[in-house]
Chain A
C-alpha cells in the first residue's frame, strides 16, 4: 500500500507542488474504496470531501421528478471530483454515483480549508488548479448545452 503522499505526488492534478505541500494535503486524506452503485455524494448534503480518483468512474447526475436521473458528466481515473468544498455554502449541487469499483483518495474538506487558511501559498496553489478545472468543465458544459450534434433545422 503506497503512502497517500506518494499517490498524490503521482497524480497529474498535483504536479508541480512542493513535497511539503503534497505532505500537507496528504495529511487530510484517506484511501477509500466504493462498490458499484454506491452513492459518493448527494445533492444538498454538506460538501465535506472531495476525491482524487485512482480507479473507476463516477457519474455526476441530477434527479428529475418525472423521469430517470440525467447524467451530466462522467469522471474517471486520473481526474479530481468535487469542487463544492471550496466555496460557501459548501454543499453538493449534484448527485455522485459510483459506476464501478472505485479506489480514490478522499480528502477532508474542513482539514484542507484550515491548512489553506494557515498557509496561503498552499491555498493559492490549490485554487489555481481548481480554477483550471472549473474553466475546463465550464467550457465543456457550454458546448454540451449547444447540442451541436442535434439536427437544427432552420
Chain B
C-alpha cells in the first residue's frame, strides 16, 4: 500500500516531548478511521511509525485527522518537528478499533495511562456525542506527574459536564497539585459504574493495562468486556512482515484492540 501525501494543517505542542499534528489530504484521502485504529505515518527518508488517531472530524463532516506523537526515536522526533504546511505520508487506517456498539446500554469505563489518553480520546467524544446509548460514562486517567497530563484543557471541559465523570491521578506531585496522587487502579473504587454491566476500555503502558485488567476482573467486570489496545513493533501494518506477532495474533490486523479473554494468556507469558 502506498502512502498518500498529507499536509499538516495545524500543530499543537501538548507536552514537552509530545505534539499533536492535524493532517489533511493533499489529494486522495485514506478511508475514515474509527476510534482505536491507527495509521502509519511516513517521514520520507527516515521511516514510518504506527500512530493511533487521537481526533476525528464529526460524523459526516470533513476535517483533519489528528495524531498525537511523542518523540522517542528518529522518526517521531522528525514528525514532532513538522511545521504547518509540511507534508508527510499516511497509510491506513489499520486494525480493529473499539466498537462502541458493544457497549450499548452499558456503563462505559475508560481507563487511560499516560499517552494512552490519545487513542481513547475519539472514544470519549463519540460517546458524548451519542450519550443516550450508554449508562454511566467514566474516564479515569493516570499520568506521571501534573506536567504530563495530556489534553488538560479538554479534560477540564469534560469535567465540567454533568453527564461524564472524569478522575485524574498522578504518580508523583508537589502540593501545588490538588488532584489525587497514586496508582490509577485506586480510582476504580470510586468509579460509579456497575461492574457486571460495564464495558471497560483500557489503554496505556502494558504493565498498567495488565494490572488494571486484573483489578477490573476482581471487581466483577467480565473478561470479555475488558478491551485493551496492544502495541508491538510494526513495519508493514498488514500482517506480512511478521514483526508485531504476539503468539498467534498479528497486533496490526488482529488488534490492536483485543479483549482481555484473548490478551491475558499472551501478555502474562514472559517472553524474555
Residues of A within 8 A of B (CB): 57, 59-61, 67-74, 76, 78, 97, 99, 139-140, 143-144, 146-151, 153
Contact = CB atoms under 8 A, between A and B. Distances in A.
A102 to B, nearest CB: 15
Interface size class of B (residues with CB under 8 A): 20 to 34
A148 B207 contact: yes
Given A97-B175, A143-B208, A143-B211, A149 B142 contact: yes
Contacts of A60: 181
A118 B209 CA distance: 45
B148 A149 contact: yes
A60 B181 CA distance: 9
A146 B175 contact: no
A9 B40 CA distance: 56
Given A148-B204, A149-B142, A151-B17, A140 B182 contact: yes
B171 A59 contact: no
A99 B179 CA distance: 10
21 contacts: A57-B180, A59-B175, A71-B174, A71-B175, A72-B172, A73-B181, A76-B190, A97-B175, A139-B211, A140-B185, A143-B207, A144-B172, A147-B144, A148-B114, A148-B208, A149-B113, A149-B115, A149-B148, A149-B171, A150-B144, A151-B70
Interface in B147-182: 148, 169, 171-182
Contact of B175 (A68, A140, A143, A150): A68
Contacts of B173: 70-71
Interface of B: 17, 70, 72-73, 113-115, 142-144, 148, 169, 171-183, 185-186, 189-190, 204-205, 207-208, 211
A71 B181 contact: yes
Contact of A140 (B113, B148, B186): B186
A137 B114 CA distance: 21
Contact of B171 (A61, A67, A69, A147): A147
Contacts of B211: 139, 143
Given A149-B142, A151-B17, A143 B174 contact: no
